[in-house]
């Protein structure tokens, strides 16, 4: 007999039904096979395997020597018909039956089951986390929206270097001035006046709380790069409110108790430092930079009121390049003839237009009005009412009034901003969009604006856009 190397296995192909044969098989394989062919013994040398086959054949059994590996690794007594599709181990028919016909060994099947279970748990956990995230986002958005429903609680927190605490400008801005419009204490009265013009009365749209000034050196986060990447701008935008909220908490003020948070930073820097002020509805925070060297206190107060209006949802109504007021949204009297000079400045345009390319600084907060576009953006009137005010005058006054009433009827069920007075007439209905703003500011001698006339202002570069004439 030829000697061969390697490891071999003895496989029983047929076992005769004799007592002697079963005795031999029991002695070799441990028990009689339940099915054939069946592996009896493995990991044998060639000589040991052939000797065992000779013994089996001597008692009438059919047996053969097969290379090791042809038996199933999970069921060593079974002949391997295929290899596992995942790990390439030999598997038998019993393994395939347990895997529902798939050529997969029990180990790989168990591992796949565990992976599926782990994947399912991960997916369920991810869904849970995403649901919590959506719930928190919805709750945050709801809180943000509710915080700006009138009456909005506004806090103005001031910070100034210790050496500027006795500055005359700072002291004047922080004490009542009998409605002269040059004090932070006039902001609440100004918003009440404008709210009444549009709604005919009702509760105050904001309640203002002033805290400070606190003797604090303010060093807000800065972006040093000239053209910073977007992520650095985003990071700084996130740091800014956190920094100022932290300063407020250091002084015992909880910013989360207020719907709008305005921070005023005083310095003695020269130039228009107020131009660096910012306000945003996102985060409900505004930062106004004021200078004690600014001789026009009215301009400083308007800067704070302007940023506060940004928090309420307004946008700028001036050109970012020329800083001139947009027509018509940045004009309080966009249809006046002559168009210039305007009697008042629009709050979100800041300056008062006096010519096609000239504007003048206001001297008092009550030299300013809130225009129809801004009133619509902060929710005081319907956007349709503002659009009607700026639309070309192609209808008779009676038809215009009917259009206004129909617009109000459509939006009235959806309006929930502020309380409306129960009075009758025009005062209860709010201002007529086709008319100029009615009364002058309280406590001032400002004149009534001229009544609009159908003549169109001249058009061209640097002039106001044309207005369609009345029929």
Bridge partners for 289 per DSSP: 265
Q: What CA–CA distance (Å, rounded) separates 204 from 212?
A: 23
Pick from 16, 18, 62: which is nearest to 40 by CA? 62
Instruction: Decide: 330 and 348 in contact? Cβ < 8 Å.
Output: yes
The residue extents of the domains of the chain are 8-108, 152-429
Q: What CA–CA distance (Å, rounded) separates 402 from 395?
A: 10
- Per-residue model confidence as pLDDT tens digits over 393-451: 555 556 666 666 766 676 655 544 443 333 333 333 334 434 444 443 333 333 333 34
Q: What CA–CA distance (Å, rounded) separates 156 from 264?
A: 7
Q: Is the dihedral of CA 95, 100, 104, 108 positive or negative?
A: negative
- Per-residue model confidence as pLDDT tens digits over 107-118: 898 888 899 999
- Per-residue model confidence as pLDDT tens digits over 134-171: 888 888 777 777 778 889 999 999 999 999 999 999 99
Q: What CA–CA distance (Å, rounded) separates 8 from 53?
A: 12
**What's the pLDDT at 330?**
95
* Weakly modelled stretches of the chain, pLDDT under 50: 1, 32-33, 415-471
The DSSP bridge pattern shows strands 38-44 and 8-14 to be: antiparallel
Cα-based distances in Å from 44 to 32, 67, 77 = 20, 9, 14
**What's the pLDDT at 401?**
65
Architecture of the domain delimited by 152-429 = 3-Layer(aba) Sandwich (3.40)
- Per-residue model confidence as pLDDT tens digits over 20-44: 666 666 666 555 445 566 666 767 7
């Amino acid at each position: 007999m030829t000697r061969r190397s390697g490891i071999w296995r003895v496989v029983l192909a047929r076992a005769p039904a004799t007592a002697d044969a079963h005795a031999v098989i029991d002695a070799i394989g441990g028990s009689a096979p339940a099915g054939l062919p069946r592996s009896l013994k493995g990991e044998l040398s060639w000589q040991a395997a052939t000797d065992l086959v000779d013994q089996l054949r001597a008692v009438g059994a059919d047996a053969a020597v097969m290379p090791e590996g042809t038996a199933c690794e999970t069921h060593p007594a079974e002949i391997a018909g295929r290899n596992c599709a995942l790990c390439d181990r030999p598997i038998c028919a019993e393994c395939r039956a347990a895997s529902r016909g798939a050529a997969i060994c029990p180990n790989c099947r168990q591992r796949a089951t565990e992976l599926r279970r782990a994947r399912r748990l991960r997916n369920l956990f991810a869904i849970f986390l995403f649901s919590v995230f959506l719930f928190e986002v919805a709750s945050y958005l709801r809180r943000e929206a509710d915080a700006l429903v009138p009456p909005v609680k506004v806090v103005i927190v001031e910070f100034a270097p210790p050496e500027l605490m006795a500055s005359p400008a700072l002291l004047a801005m922080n004490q009542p001035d009998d409605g002269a419009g040059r004090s932070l204490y006039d902001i609440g009265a100004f918003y009440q006046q404008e709210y009444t013009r549009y709604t005919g009365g009702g509760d105050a749209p904001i309640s203002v709380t002033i805290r400070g000034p606190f003797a604090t050196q303010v060093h807000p986060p800065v972006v040093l790069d000239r053209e910073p990447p977007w992520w650095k701008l985003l990071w700084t935008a996130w740091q800014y409110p956190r920094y100022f909220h932290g300063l407020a908490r250091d002084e015992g003020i909880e910013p989360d108790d207020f719907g709008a948070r305005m921070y005023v930073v005083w310095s003695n820097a020269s130039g228009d430092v107020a131009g660096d002020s910012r306000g945003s509805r996102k985060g409900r925070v505004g930062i106004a930079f004021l200078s004690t060297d600014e001789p026009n206190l009215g301009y400083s107060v308007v800067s704070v009121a302007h940023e506060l209006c940004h928090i309420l949802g307004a946008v700028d109504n001036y050109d970012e390049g020329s800083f001139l007021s947009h027509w018509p949204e940045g004009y309080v009297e966009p249809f006046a003839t002559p168009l210039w000079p305007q009697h008042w400045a629009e709050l979100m345009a800041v300056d008062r237009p006096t010519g096609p390319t000239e504007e003048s600084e206001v001297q008092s907060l009550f030299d300013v009005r809130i225009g129809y576009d801004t009133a619509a953006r902060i929710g005081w009137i319907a956007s349709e009412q503002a659009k009607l005010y700026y639309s070309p005058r192609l209808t008779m006054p009676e038809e215009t009034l009917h259009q206004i009433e129909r617009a109000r009827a459509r939006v009235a069920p959806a309006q929930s901003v502020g309380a409306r007075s129960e009075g009758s007439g025009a005062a209860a209905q709010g201002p007529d969009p086709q008319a100029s703003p009615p009364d002058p500011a309280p406590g001032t001698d400002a004149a009534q604006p001229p009544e609009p006339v159908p003549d169109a202002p001249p058009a061209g570069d640097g002039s106001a856009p044309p207005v369609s004439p009345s029929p």
